[in-house]
Chains A and B, each alone.
Chain A
Amino acid sequence: MVALVVVVTFVVLVLSVLVAGLLRSHADILRSLHELGVGVGDPASTDGAQPSHERTPRLPTWSTSQTDLLTAHTVAGVTPSGDARAVAMTNHDGFTLLGFLSSGCTTCSDFWEALQSPDTLGLSDDTRVVIVTKGPDRETPNEVAALSTGRVPVVMSTEAWLDYQVPGSPFFVLVDGGTGVSVGQGVAAHVGQLLDLIRRAEYDRRPRDRRRPWTSSGRNGPGREADADEVLTMAGIHPGDPSLYPQSLHDVFPFGGGATAPVAGANGAHPDRAE
């Protein structure tokens, strides 16, 4: 009898330890989910603090959702030399890229250089580049002048930053002059990323019957992949189509009357095959 009591007591203790461990693990999981921004409530605090997902740094993004699009305002202000300048957004059919930059922002330095050499960026001829800094009340005109080459308009206008709801620099807004609204806005980590976003916007705006895959250099990555997908879809070739996975030369050259030897790497070993 005594032995039975001892065994039962031991079992109860072991089960208690297991239950305590499970509860602690569950709490850790809930805390982790909450830190990822998908939790409900905060088990560690009751002060209604700001959710952690709102405290995380903003990542490079480019928004094209309709709810984020703004009516394009004329950018009006002064130049670093004290002249007045107003740049309208809707007086031509092309795009206008507004680069909201600062003189003291280290991340902006590459953009200052690149945006003032639009010929080397490979943008379409009807895409206009305008650099916008805050007004002389927030920026030193001499510092802005030192960064300006005079090749693209540089307008100092705090009002424009407010109009376009710019959260900080560098920030970019792409305006479609034909519709008078911004078609994309956000931040980019580097010039290449910005250019890819612009080219995609330019491509998306073309009439579908005028769209062609990029043949110029510099078109790589997701943009090129999207182009290829679109052309294939227009040709009736959808994901999983057997023609994407040739098993023999006859599959590749059906009218060539050639051999029927297996394609190198076939049978699931093709290097480009995506499963």
Chain B
Amino acid sequence: MATIRAHGIVARLPDGFEGRIFVRSSVMGRTYPVGQFATFPIPDDIGDFGSGAVHLMGPDDIFASLFQYGPESLGTALFSRQGRPTAFTSADFSPVRLRRGIPGQSGTQWFFTEAGRPFSFYAVLGSHPRRDALVPGVNALVSSLAIATAESTTQDAPPQWN
């Protein structure tokens, strides 16, 4: 079981998962940590929520993204839930919840606040009909995550010459 940690997020990856926790470089403004986890090779240049990767999924694959929002989201109704969801069920997944509707796949997305940081957790299953077999993998992944309090986890844009 491999463990990765960066930017105040720790993931003890279940067998078969790989992942990365990163902060995108930004020309202006601030960027916030993103965690991406999958049961298939994650391409290096993909979108925060898996665009460029989800079309590579097989029917038994899982992709998940833990995306942190800016502090302006704290206290809003969307992020009012305290703590991440810990026990998904098959009913939580639906093809209509996909950010990018690929036939046969299924998804779910939750917004929450944990350790004073606003997040969304987005997961995609490679096959909606096989969601009963795949959801335990998502739950194992979610339970493997640990989130530290918001301190020094953001990255200022580097100074730029005009």
Contact = CB atoms under 8 A, between A and B. Distances in A.
B107 interface: no
Q: Chain A interface secondary structure, helix, strand, loop or mixed?
A: loop
A153 B90 CA distance: 34
A78 B10 CA distance: 12
Contacts of A85: 4, 19-20, 22
A153 B39 contact: no
A87 B44 contact: no
Given A84-B5, A86-B4, A90-B16, A79 B22 contact: yes
B18 A86 contact: yes
Contacts of B16: 88, 90-91
A200 interface: no
Interface in A64-120: 73-79, 81-88, 90-92
B20 A83 contact: yes
Interface of B: 2-7, 9, 11, 13, 16-23, 38-41, 44-45
Given A77-B4, A79-B20, 14 more contacts: A75-B2, A76-B4, A81-B22, A84-B6, A84-B21, A86-B2, A86-B11, A86-B13, A86-B18, A88-B2, A88-B13, A88-B16, A88-B39, A91-B40
Nearest to B19: A86
Q: Chain B interface secondary structure, helix, strand, loop or mixed?
A: strand
Contact of B3 (A73, A76, A92, A128): A76
Given A76-B2, A76-B3, A76-B4, A84 B20 contact: yes
**Top 8 A-B residue pairs of the complex, sorted by shortest distance between their CB atoms:** A84-B6, A83-B22, A84-B4, A76-B2, A88-B18, A74-B2, A84-B21, A85-B20
A31 B17 CA distance: 56
Nearest to B20: A85
Contact of A87 (B6, B11, B18, B22): B18
A232 interface: no
A128 B41 contact: yes
Given A74-B13, A92-B40, A150-B44, A86 B20 contact: yes
Contacts of A128: 41
Given A87-B18, A88-B16, A153 B3 contact: no
A152 interface: yes
A151 B4 CA distance: 21
A117 to B, nearest CB: 14
Q: Which of A74, A78, A150 neighbours the largest number of chain B CB atoms within 10 Å of its CB? A: A74
Interface string A132-171: 0000000000000000001111000000000000000000
Q: Which of B9, B13, B44, B45 neighbours the largest number of chain A CB atoms within 10 Å of its CB? A: B44
A165 B6 CA distance: 26
A82 B2 contact: no
29 contacts: A73-B2, A74-B2, A74-B18, A76-B2, A77-B4, A79-B22, A83-B6, A83-B20, A84-B7, A84-B9, A84-B11, A84-B19, A84-B21, A85-B4, A86-B2, A86-B4, A86-B11, A86-B13, A87-B18, A87-B41, A88-B2, A88-B13, A88-B16, A88-B17, A88-B18, A91-B16, A91-B40, A152-B44, A153-B44
